[in-house]
Amino acid sequence: MIKFLTGPGGYKVANALMMKAAWLCCVVGGASYGAAALACMFALSIWRREFAQDLPFVLLLGSIGLCLDTFWMYAGVLDYGQAAIALPLGITLAPSWIIMLWLAVGLSIRHSLYFLVTRPLFGALLVGCGSPLSYLTGERFGAVVIPSLEGMVVLAVVWIALFYVVFSRAKTQLTAV
């Protein structure tokens, strides 16, 4: 097992499996299960000595996710119900479990998602078109409510644009090294 994780291909596979596990843990189990799954991803990144290079993507996507999913709540595209984080002064933020998913994506940019980074337009289209399916699946698990399908179209278009920029920027940074 250790030999599998030390090889470049093995780590990409492990990262992809851990990202899928993180999605399931976050959506089904919320922040508590999501934190455990994300901790495993962080631990593996640190153990593999990848964390310093992963950190900029983790911070960027965590920040984007917090802002974007909070915006979707205020715009009425998504409703996280009681899982949303209520702050003083009537401010409400997206739930911690969805931010954990964005952090997991950040931990995957240089690894299991690298094939999308090297093809930014294809990657953006794939992620953008897949994002509504992910949210719809989350709705089936009771993690989110989607008030309208029109909102899902807007969400997909925004994700396509966003991930085109993210993947293009990552490609520039990762291929310049």
pLDDT band, very low/low/confident/very high, at 177 (cuts 50, 70, 90) = low
Per-residue pLDDT tens digits for 100-134: 999 999 999 999 999 999 999 999 999 999 999 99
Average pLDDT over every residue of 75-85: 95
Q: Is residue 159 very low, low, confident or very high in pLDDT (cuts 50, 70, 90)? A: very high
Mean pLDDT for the chain?
93
Structural domain boundaries, residue 160: 2-176
pLDDT of amino acid 150: 93
Provide the pLDDT for residue 10. Answer: 87
Confidence of residue 3 (pLDDT cuts 50, 70, 90): low
pLDDT at 165: 96
Asked if pLDDT for residue 97 goes beyond 90, the answer is yes
pLDDT at position 4: 53
3-state DSSP of the chain: CHHHHHCHHHHHHHHHHHHHHHHHHHHHHHHHHHHHHHHHHHHHHHHCCCHHHHHHHHHHHHHHHHHHHHHHHHHCCCECHHHCEECHHHCEECCHHHHHHHHHHHHHCCCCCHHHHCCHHHHHHHHHHHHHHHHHHHHHCCCCECCCHHHHHHHHHHHHHHHHHHHHHHHHHHHHC
At residue 55, the pLDDT reads 97
Total domain count for the chain?
1
What pLDDT was estimated at residue 2? Answer: 56
Return the pLDDT at 130. Answer: 93
- Total-model pTM: 0.92
What is the model's pLDDT at position 174? 84
